[in-house]
Structure 1
Amino acid sequence: MLRVIGAGLPRTGTMTLKSALETLLGEPCHHMAEVFQRLDRDPAAFLAAARGEPTDWDAVFAGYAAAVDWPASAFHVELAERYPGAVVVLSRRDSFDTWWKSCNNTIFTGMDTRNDVATREWSDMIDAVWSKTFEGAPRSDRNAVEAAYHRYHERVREAIPAERLVEFETGAGWGPMCDALGLPVPQEPFPYLNTTKEWQERAAGDVPPGGIGAGGR
């Protein structure tokens, strides 16, 4: 059963958040990196959900205590309804410009080239999740994406009650999540993972599963 639902977009520190939540909860956190380990089931399930088909969320997230990043974050409303006791985390960058630059230097390259690690279902899932999140705005149209980006964040705030929502800006550290979950702050430093440089270094190599499309910083 999910205890934390991520509503944040890719490249908003989601890999860092995944690691932090796994430390806090002691259980796995779903992330795009997980999808590449589950290509036989996850893309089909999330694609069906994006098309409005009934989805067994308990089966999709069996064994996970949290879910962040795409594709799960695109379904934060559905997941919040299914798991009413879960905290919803809206991870954010400090501005659209910062987010846009990070995406164009990382995940957009993988989404547009459809690297060999992707399947047809994965590509269709990404297109459906993009359309659901950004209201069909073309990735090539910066102004349209920016407008949809801001509308997306407002939709999250409108859909999730304030007492359930944690707005988590990159670099916030342990405090916001520990407070929301009622857990002590770990002694270990807060993680800092999947920077643009790290992503590009992976992409320049063989791109292990979870590289293309994995949203971190």
Structure 2
Amino acid sequence: MVAVIGAGFGRTGTTSLKRALELVGFGPVYHMKELYDRPERLAAWLAARDGRAPAAAALAGYRAALGWPACAFLDGLLDAHPGAKVVLTTRDPDAWYDSAHRTLYRSRFDEAGEPRRLTGDTARVAEFAEDLIWRGAFGGRFTDRAHALSVLAAHERRVRESVPAGRLLVFRAEDGWGPLCAFLGVPVPDAPYPRDNTAAGFQDRVRRRLAGQAVRPGPEKDSGAAE
């Protein structure tokens, strides 16, 4: 049963929050990286996108879900998990755009600026992300900075307006453990709040995946293991 839903877009601190939730006992946590690592769940997400099945079906076995694709199905996930708490990760909008552009957006292209030629499961997951995020959320206009920022602002405004105050935490990574642990009702760990998925780390992971060197994680289970 999903206990925490992350409503923020990618590059708002979702990977750090993933690690934080694992450390305080809310793992396993679903994140877009999971879909690339375990593409067998793609069929469930496609069914949710097409209205043939609820998005909750794609999250069976997970205690939390963050970023895309989950944040695109927030309303359905809230209905399916009425006891779940929502964390809206956010950051300075211009910093978010710069980060998303040089990582998530640029990862779609090779060094020559051409769309990457992908194969197999990676290609199918990438096409789903293309449809859900770049053609869907941003209407094919992510390079229009003002438009992309307006999409981010509208999404965050809708989350703030639609999620009851008692179920919502608006959170920045620099806020640290205090507000997050108070919101979740758990003790503050004796460790710094995670600072994961820098731009350099993201790009390195993409290179390893494309080179076929990414290591497939072990079986899904409720553990606090690092990503």
Query: How far does residue 48 in structure 1 lie from its aligned partner after superposition?
Result: 2.5
| Greater RCO (Cα-Cα under 8 Å, separation 6 or more) | 1
Query: How far does residue 7 in structure 1 lie from its aligned partner after superposition?
Result: 0.3
Residue number in structure 2 paired with 1:106: 103
Query: How far does residue 115 in structure 1 lie from its aligned partner after superposition?
Result: 5.9
Distance in 1 of aligned mates of 2:142 and 2:215? 24
Paired residues of 1:6 and 1:90 also in contact (CA < 8 A) = yes
Gaps in structure 2 of 5+ consecutive residues? 110-114, 217-227
**How do 1:162-201 and structure 2 match up within 5 A?**
162-201=165-204
Residue number in structure 1 paired with 2:223: none
Q: Evaluate the alpha carbon distance shift between residue 177 and residue 188 of structure 1 in structure 2; reply closer, same or farther with a 3 A threshold.
A: same
Distance in 2 of aligned mates of 1:102 and 1:133? 17
Gaps in structure 1 of 5+ consecutive residues? 211-217
Listed one character per residue, the Cα deviations across residues 63-93 of structure 1 (whole Å, up to 9, x for unaligned) are 2111112111211221111101110010011
Q: Evaluate the alpha carbon distance shift between residue 179 and residue 114 of structure 1 in structure 2; reply closer, same or farther with a 3 A threshold.
A: farther
Paired residues of 2:48 and 2:55 also in contact (CA < 8 A) = no
1:172 maps to a residue whose letter is D
Paired residues of 2:45 and 2:55 also in contact (CA < 8 A) = no
- Considering only CA atoms, is the larger Rg found in Structure 1 or Structure 2? 2
Distance in 2 of aligned mates of 1:99 and 1:89? 17
Query: How far does residue 50 in structure 1 lie from its aligned partner after superposition?
Result: 2.1
Secondary structure at the aligned position of 2:24 is classed as: helix
Q: Evaluate the alpha carbon distance shift between residue 182 and residue 147 of structure 1 in structure 2; reply closer, same or farther with a 3 A threshold.
A: same
Distance in 1 of aligned mates of 2:152 and 2:116? 23
Distance in 2 of aligned mates of 1:208 and 1:115? 18
Secondary structure at the aligned position of 1:5 is classed as: strand
Provide TM-score, normalisation by structure 1: 0.85
**How do 1:92-171 and structure 2 match up within 5 A?**
92-93=90-91, 95-112=92-109, 113-114=115-116, 116=118, 119-130=122-133, 131-134=135-138, 136-171=139-174
Paired residues of 1:71 and 1:129 also in contact (CA < 8 A) = yes
More helix by share: 2
Q: Evaluate the alpha carbon distance shift between residue 115 and residue 103 of structure 1 in structure 2; reply closer, same or farther with a 3 A threshold.
A: farther
Distance in 2 of aligned mates of 1:183 and 1:106? 33
Q: Evaluate the alpha carbon distance shift between residue 160 and residue 139 of structure 1 in structure 2; reply closer, same or farther with a 3 A threshold.
A: same
The CA RMSD measured in Å over matched residues stands at: 2.1
- Identity over aligned pairs, percent: 39
Secondary structure at the aligned position of 1:194 is classed as: coil
Distance in 2 of aligned mates of 1:67 and 1:80? 12
Paired residues of 1:44 and 1:125 also in contact (CA < 8 A) = no
Secondary structure at the aligned position of 1:193 is classed as: coil
Secondary structure at the aligned position of 1:106 is classed as: helix
Provide TM-score, normalisation by structure 2: 0.82
Distance in 2 of aligned mates of 1:146 and 1:104? 12
Secondary structure at the aligned position of 1:139 is classed as: coil
